[in-house]
Amino acid sequence: MDEKGVSEREILEELMNYRKLDLKYEDGKIFGSMCSNVLPITRKIVDMFLETNLGDPGLFKGTKLLEEKAVELLGSLLNNKKAYGHIVSGGTEANLMALRCIKNIWREKRRKGLSKNEHPKIIIPITAHFSFEKGRDMMDLSYIYAPLKKDYTVDEKFVKDAVEDYEIDGIVGIAGTTELGTIDNIEELSKIAKENNIYIHVDAAFGGLVIPFLEEKYKKKNINYNFDFSLGVDSITIDPHKMGHCPIPSGGILFKDISYRKYLDVYTPYLTETKQATILGTRVGFGGACTYAVLKYLGREGQRKIVSECMENTLYLYKKLKENGFNPVIEPVLNIVAIEDEDYKDVCMKLRDKGIYVSVCNCVKALRVVVMPHIKREHIDNFIEILKEVKKD
């Protein structure tokens, strides 16, 4: 660090040069991300709440109230006005909080001599996001990985059998898988969990702000779209920074009610509140403010319109791919399209060399495209042309 500072103009110019190296959503080259542009109103809110810290909520009472209101709104969307939760750092922290809750319920059972498991045992679909691997590693969890059925949703029969064969502490279901956008049969999983008094967590980080807004015309007969608290689930991850047009990092974690908090709280003696449930300590306050504001600002109607536009573009991409001889893995369930390709990793890198950033699947050899709000028809046409070029080479 130099002794003397530099002028604001000089340093901002330097930063701008670095910023220019970044891709911009609006350029239509980011096809593999679950993040997108924020709404213009969001920029103003971030500025207003930039210095707030929900790690010390007694200092920021208004911001804390807004986080509560955001949770209440998400709760009402998920059929539970009594939900307790937080707007945290993305789906990762949200999922880690659910896993911590499962772990501490197991610990309580162990203390009472009610569990023989040496580690909390959790059934988790093989399509689960890698945040669950972080949780397994940090909390010494023991996973039973559930395979998929032909439609790429979790095999409930396997889950049912595993519950009969082992003492299970938690079940995870996914409403909108990262790779394909498929929706596990949460109703069935929830039934299995409730009948056996097992905790069930739903990862709807992506699907949570899509599924409730899907118009009937996009729904398929053989898919069960129910995933929320009306099924009796214990917790749900739902991320405003994915399909909710909020700034990174806005992840949502909701528990059925406040009684779950005791499994999360640690003692925080020197803060304005003496208990803290989130994994991060010092944490941004604008996530809650933006979530509340954007949901209020758009209303159900506004969000439905955005979701429908994404679905129309998804179906357009699907149709164009087929017309050009490509093979999508499934008919799109949400605004995600996976394209079968034996050389998917190589093709992904070649596309990148041409300035197109898709991602890849893990559960099937395929490229993966997320049709976020920043993806327009002309971007899709351009993508198809470049994909054709790459495949010709």
Contact residues for ligand PLP, defined by CB under 6 A = 34, 90-92, 95, 129, 131, 174, 178, 203, 205-206, 239, 251
Distance CA 24, CA 158 (A): 43
Residue 63 Cβ, how far from ligand PLP at the closest point, in Å? 21
Q: Report the residue number, 245 or 390, with the smaller CB distance to ligand PLP.
A: 245
CB 212 within 8 A of CB 307: no
Q: Is the bond leading into 328 cis (omega within 30 degrees of zero)?
A: no
Residue 314 Cβ, how far from ligand PLP at the closest point, in Å? 16
Distance CA 332, CA 195 (A): 32
Q: Report the residue number, 34 or 289, with the smaller CB distance to ligand PLP.
A: 34
Distance CA 282, CA 155 (A): 40
Task: Supply φ then ψ for residue 280, to 5 degrees.
Answer: -75, 150
Residue 174 Cβ, how far from ligand PLP at the closest point, in Å? 6
CB 83 within 8 A of CB 254: yes
Q: Report the residue number, 363 or 390, with the smaller CB distance to ligand PLP.
A: 363
Strands (E), 150-227: 170-174, 199-203
Residue 111 Cβ, how far from ligand PLP at the closest point, in Å? 31
Q: Report the residue number, 336 or 390, with the smaller CB distance to ligand PLP.
A: 336
Q: Which residue has the tokens 């938690």?
A: 170
Residue 127 Cβ, how far from ligand PLP at the closest point, in Å? 9
Q: Report the residue number, 367 or 390, with the smaller CB distance to ligand PLP.
A: 367
Structure tokens at 207: 């699907």
Residue 153 Cβ, how far from ligand PLP at the closest point, in Å? 13
Residue 99 Cβ, how far from ligand PLP at the closest point, in Å? 12
Q: Report the residue number, 91 or 288, with the smaller CB distance to ligand PLP.
A: 91
Distance in Å from the first CA to the final CA of the chain: 49
Q: Report the residue number, 67 or 239, with the smaller CB distance to ligand PLP.
A: 239
Phi-psi region of 299 (alpha: psi -120 to 50; beta: other; left: phi over 0): left
Q: Report the residue number, 240 or 285, with the smaller CB distance to ligand PLP.
A: 240
* DSSP, residue by residue, 125-163: ETT--THHHHHHHHHT-EEEEE-B-TTSSB-HHHHHHHH
DSSP letter at 175 equals B
Residue 145, number of CB atoms within 10 A of its CB = 15
CB 366 within 8 A of CB 326: no
Nearest to 292 by CA among 257, 253, 244, 249: 244
Residue 191 Cβ, how far from ligand PLP at the closest point, in Å? 22
Q: Report the residue number, 45 or 334, with the smaller CB distance to ligand PLP.
A: 334
Residue 269 Cβ, how far from ligand PLP at the closest point, in Å? 30
Distance CA 78, CA 211 (A): 10
Tell me the one-letter amino acid at 195. Answer: E
